[in-house]
Structure 1
Amino acid sequence: ITAAISHLPHIIAAQLVNFVRNSDDKAETMRTLAAGGFKDITRIASSSPVMWQNICLTNASGIKEMLDGYIKSLQEVSDALSRKDEKFLYNIFETAGEYRNSIPNTAKGILEKVYEIYLDITDEAGAIATIATQLAVNQISIKNIGILHNREFEEGVLRIEFYNQDSVEKAIEVLNHFQYHLYVR
């Protein structure tokens, strides 16, 4: 099970990043243009290489079995592209979406659920303090807070992590009242 839902995704993410890196031009156009979708699917490629080397060696047979099956499924996609098989291509996205959407957000895996929101933040003194104060006045505790600097969001974005879903919901209500632009994931 872990070979399919944990180990294989790490290998896929790492190799996708390596494939893009090796396929990029000298101007690094792909690297420059890589944004939300690419970053989402490859986030785990930044994991510890030592840890994943050890995991791969420890579960080599299980991972190889899953990897061989995955390679076969990719070959089926390649064949469908060659045939221009509209039905097959539509079906892979439809069934994947249905299955992915059926995985509950509240499912507990090895890692605990992260309760977080993102909001646009202006580049001015006291902006973070103002938000923290608005939450504190409403008895909402912040677990972690930080500014994200990536191209997925157009301006500065503040990430706020909370201890539970109730705090997220209260924070959304408070911050919406003050007309902050929120991103909830």
Structure 2
Amino acid sequence: MNDVVVGFIGFGLIGGSLAHALREQNPKHKLTAYCYNRNKVNAGLTKALQDGVLNDIVYELEDLGECDLLFLCAPVLSNIAYLAQLKSILKPDCIITDVGSVKGNICKEAVALGLGSQFVGGHPMAGSEKTGYTNSSSRLLENAYYILTPTRETKNSITDTLFQLIKSLGSIPILLNPSEHDDITAAISHVPHIIASCLVNMVRKEDNEDKMKTLAAGGFKDITRIASSSPVMWQNICLTNTDSILRFLDKYIHSLNEVKESLQLNREAAIFDFFQDAGEYRDSIPNTSAGLLNKIYELYLDIIDETGAIATIATLLATNLISIKNIGIIHNREFEEGVLRIVFYSQNSCEAAASLLRKHNYTVYER
């Protein structure tokens, strides 16, 4: 894309990371963010303006009328509500996209409003429990899968333009239809978040003397980490991807009942197969180590996507006698941090590596 006007509604972790990446790749683009309350200081927008990431902050939606590309980065329900307000404001050739993790509802609404030809649903598979512009980075999107879901009316030229733009930012664009996307994310993201929160709440209700909290570590913290994510965001997701979530929740509940029955009837073979099948499938997922309940000594870090970047890190660790168990780029980093994941054989090695890499000015995230 040539020099364009890019607008943002919602400017947190994902919006900020997109803006960082766009600014680095296209310094002449005009980046503008909408602030719905001119009487309340928005620290993130102010900081982005000071950083030179944003060119302007506007307080009226009408001021987004000149946008060539508009990212909706607010919570899912808010993004849907904004479409109706934007219909009479945006240019007919303005590309509209969002970054929410539910696509069916907003794609249907875009078509119903007559915006289907210029709308492409978007979902960058990257993120963190940490929120806000201050935690954003262009590296967040690098080598991450970025799902695009055109509506049935989206012009091919608009889909192609957005596809190439996302690719130029260092992400890996993938085209899916909205319903397929929502089923996939329900199974691998939405239901797991519900399960993690259920586990935490179960322990919370039973932990009268805080003994469980005191002893909780390792496996429990690993499999419930995502329960720390934004409750507003997950409320929105549950209210907009309800059908898919309910379908996979039913399958999960059925699986739990099968395990319960096997335990009640002391079915040794069934219990063994249950754990074996789960372990084999999980170990087949790229960039994984042992099963969820085993202690994993890992760290994540940001690296520049250039030839030799991983080799440089591996050499640095090797020359300091730090052994690596596994290393690889993370493509699906939703609610994860860092582009590169490194697994070690021991806690001491992990801590030594983190210290060494920080001394060499790498940004390191520890688990």
TM over 0.5: yes
**Quick one: distance in 1 between partners of 2:230 and 2:195?**
15
Given the alignment of the two structures, is residue 16 of structure 1 paired with residue 199 of structure 2, yes or no?
yes
**Quick one: distance in 1 between partners of 2:259 and 2:279?**
16
Q: Is the 8 A contact 1:162 1:168 kept in 2?
A: no
Given the alignment of the two structures, is residue 6 of structure 1 paired with residue 185 of structure 2, yes or no?
no
Q: Is the partner of 2:287 in helix, strand or coil?
A: coil
Residue aligning to 1:73: 255
Shift of 1:170: 2.3
Among candidates 298, 314, 318, match of residue 173 of structure 1: 318
The one-character-per-residue Cα deviations of 1:37-81 (angstroms, maximum 9, x if unpaired) are 000000100000000000111100100000011011001101110
1:22-37 equivalences in 2 (<5 Å): 22-25=205-208, 27-37=209-219
Residue aligning to 1:53: 235
**Quick one: distance in 2 between partners of 1:43 and 1:88?**
29
1:58-137 equivalences in 2 (<5 Å): 58-105=240-287
Shift of 1:99: 0.2
**Which has the higher Rg, Structure 1 or Structure 2?**
2
Aligned residue identity for 2:191: L
User: Which stretch shifts more, 168-177 or 58-67?
Assistant: 168-177
Shift of 1:165: 3.2
Aligned length: 134
Q: Is the 8 A contact 1:172 1:182 kept in 2?
A: no
Residue aligning to 1:127: none
**Quick one: distance in 2 between partners of 1:160 and 1:87?**
38
**Quick one: distance in 2 between partners of 1:160 and 1:6?**
20
Aligned residue identity for 2:252: Y
What RMSD over aligned residues (CA atoms) do the two structures have, in Å? 2.8
**Quick one: distance in 1 between partners of 2:267 and 2:313?**
44
1:157-168 equivalences in 2 (<5 Å): 161-163=301-303, 165-168=310-313
CA change 1:2–1:15 in 2 (3 A) is same
Aligned residue identity for 2:247: E
The one-character-per-residue Cα deviations of 1:80-123 (angstroms, maximum 9, x if unpaired) are 100011101101110001000001118xxxxxxxxxxxxxxxxx
Work out the percentage of aligned pairs sharing the same amino acid. 53
Given the alignment of the two structures, is residue 43 of structure 1 paired with residue 225 of structure 2, yes or no?
yes
Q: Is the 8 A contact 1:3 1:59 kept in 2?
A: yes
The one-character-per-residue Cα deviations of 1:128-167 (angstroms, maximum 9, x if unpaired) are xxxxxxxxxxxxxxxxxxxxxxxx89xxx9x672415334
Aligned residue identity for 2:197: A
Shift of 1:19: 0.6
- Higher RCO by CA contacts (8 Å cutoff, separation 6 or greater): 1
Q: Is the 8 A contact 1:56 1:63 kept in 2?
A: yes
Aligned residue identity for 2:301: E
**Quick one: distance in 2 between partners of 1:95 and 1:165?**
33
**Quick one: distance in 2 between partners of 1:69 and 1:32?**
33
User: Which stretch shifts more, 164-173 or 52-61?
Assistant: 164-173
**Quick one: distance in 2 between partners of 1:10 and 1:167?**
36
Aligned residue identity for 1:172: L
- Runs of 5+ unmatched residues, structure 2: 1-183, 289-294, 304-308, 323-346, 354-366
Residue aligning to 1:147: none
